[in-house]
Amino acid sequence: MLKGIGGSAGYGVGRAVIISEGKPEYVSVEITDTESEIKRFEDAVRVFVEKTQGMADAMRERVGEHNAEILEGHILMLSDPFMQDEIKGMINSGNCAEAAVDSVCDMFITMFSQVDDELTKQRATDIGDIRVRLLKILTGTPDINISEVPAGTVLVAKDLTPSMTAGIVKENVAGIVTELGGKTSHSAILARALEIPAVLSVDNVLSMVSDGMVLAVDGCEGNCIIEPSDEEITEYQKKKEIYLEEKAGLKVFVGRETVTADGAKVHLYGNIGKPEDAEAVVSGDGEGVGLFRTEFLFMGADSLPSEEQQFEAYKKAAEIMNGREVIIRTLDVGGDKDIPYLGLEKEENPFLGFRAVRYCLANEESYKVQLRALLRASAYGDIKIMVPLVTGVEEIRKVKQLVGELKQELDKAGIAYNKDIQVGVMMETPAASLIADLLAGEADFFSIGTNDLTQYTMAVDRGNAKVAYLYSAYHPAVLRSMKNIIEAGNKAGIMVGMCGEAAADTLLIPLLISFGLGEYSVSASSVLSTRSTISKWSKAEADKLAEQALALSTEEEVAALLKANVK
């Protein structure tokens, strides 16, 4: 049995499909029969064109014209006579087709990426994409489309990037196993949203599993069995039934208010990545959306989504929520969330680098497109704007100033928006926590992002398995930080919510009740279990436990106390 981290609860058994992204390996050989090598290249181009046209047609139907045109643009680029001549020229001088394609694409990528113009830079990304797909055809590397894997598939990958995960059809995926990632990595968050069992951080799993092998996945305990015996399969199926029964037992909480045992009402919202996910929040009985991670909108595209495209997406979420609150976070790019067409430079420390509000304020024009789309969409529901990775008062002031300017523009143009739209701060850095009192004077609301708050407070990369033992919201430093933020927000009379994964943590919830958290935003699938846990605790009981927890010195002691008091 292989051990990893349980990234998404549940049990699944299925056949492995290995997902390998990136340039396939090839051996560069010297060619004497250049004529047949050129024919091999031309055949590959033909296959490329057929496949790409097929993808573009499917895209046109599913996503719309714009994305289809980008793919058709790839066909045009590869058919460009200059590019074709360069590749054939290299083959004529004795290079194999793979080496010729690889180095000519390299040449174009270098050329395009040096130009200081976004559109031209984007072409470098396009050529990179063309290269991988063409090399896959030449080397016979299977090209896996995640959205087309057969039913009963267990996806096995180094890591699942958010854009890869976005293509998953949940009915067909019985489980996910990866070599990298932790509980709060984006692949884990998405797996939970899709309710697919996932085991992450399984060392060397790619070298042990090949396509078609049967895998049993236990996302609760973080276990994975390769080629399980019949008894093991039966055992997993039983566990799955019990797990699903327990889940069904939570149905009594559907339609109920979210209240503590002594009747204090709190808000219980859902986190989403795409507008359509709001439907899962509604069917999961969430009372609003506490976090719309807009970066998925940007990742799912091949270029910056226009104001119109963004407006439609935000409006759609607001309409699905039908008047209930929808907190939309502005672009949180960087860290583990790469958006290739933005052409961000590789950084030594991406989590400490040019990301989120830092990137947005440095690219004011594209940030204004998003803010304008958000303002326009606010005419269609209760939309609130949330700013990620804030470390100082000047950042929130600047965002509010931009929002103010855009409001004036919209007024002049006679375009409707909510004049009282709230702008809140995502509290996820130690700096924000330490100046929570100052930020509370500027922000309309707080939402604690415990995934990052834990990462930055503990100085631990949230996806690094080697230091995962330090990554815990039960650590006294993280507990104190959360308490400080909640108290500062409450003192200033603003709403304090939590949209990090800790908001759904059964063990932690009594402490959050005691600290005075007003809003919990969790994955749609955790709404009912969170409501159930909240209903079991009175403020007095929660206070007693919090007092004991805060008197402890280590994470281990806190964890043991919380486990001993679970209801």
Tell me which residues are annotated as active site.
186, 499
**192 lies in the binding site for ligand PEP (CB under 6 A):** no
In terms of Cα–Cα distance, which of 244, 374, 240, 353 is closest to 307?
Answer: 374
**8 lies in the binding site for ligand PEP (CB under 6 A):** no
- What residues numbered 517-536 form the site for ligand PEP, per CB under 6 A? none
Tell me which of Mg ion, ligand PEP, none is bound by residue 218, counting a contact when its beta carbon lies within the kind-specific cut-off of 5 to 8 angstroms.
none
Could you say which of 102, 126, 428, 442 contacts ligand PEP (CB under 6 A)?
428
**179 lies in the binding site for Mg ion (CB under 5 A):** no
The whole-angstrom separation of Cα 42 and Cα 62 is: 30
- Please report how close the Cβ of residue 503 comes to Mg ion at its closest, in angstroms: 13
**449 lies in the binding site for Mg ion (CB under 5 A):** yes
**14 lies in the binding site for Mg ion (CB under 5 A):** no
The whole-angstrom separation of Cα 167 and Cα 145 is: 8
**For the residues of 423-434, what is the DSSP string, one character each?**
EEEEE-SHHHHH
- What residues numbered 76-115 form the site for ligand PEP, per CB under 6 A? none
- Please report how close the Cβ of residue 261 comes to ligand PEP at its closest, in angstroms: 27
**449 lies in the binding site for ligand PEP (CB under 6 A):** yes
Strand partners, 218: 11, 223
**499 lies in the binding site for ligand PEP (CB under 6 A):** yes
**424 lies in the binding site for Mg ion (CB under 5 A):** no
Stretch that binds ligand PEP, among 83-91, 154-162, 303-311, 448-456 (CB under 6 A): 448-456
- Straight-line distance from the first to the last Cα atom of the chain, in angstroms, rounded to the nearest whole number: 31
136/293 with CB nearer Mg ion: 293
**129 lies in the binding site for ligand PEP (CB under 6 A):** no
Place of tokens 């399980």: 228
CB burial class (10 A; 0-12, 13-18, 19+) of residue 328?
Answer: buried
Stretch that binds Mg ion, among 32-40, 42-50, 446-454, 474-482 (CB under 5 A): 446-454
Structure tokens at 453: 């708050």
The whole-angstrom separation of Cα 412 and Cα 423 is: 22
- 85 to 90, 91, 306, 556: CA distances (angstroms): 9, 10, 36, 65
**504 lies in the binding site for ligand PEP (CB under 6 A):** no
The whole-angstrom separation of Cα 512 and Cα 545 is: 11
**500 lies in the binding site for ligand PEP (CB under 6 A):** yes
**545 lies in the binding site for ligand PEP (CB under 6 A):** no
Q: Give the DSSP H or E segment for 564.
A: helix 555-564
Residues that bind Mg ion (CB under 5 A): 428, 449, 452
Residues that bind ligand PEP (CB under 6 A): 184, 291, 293, 332, 428, 449-452, 499-500
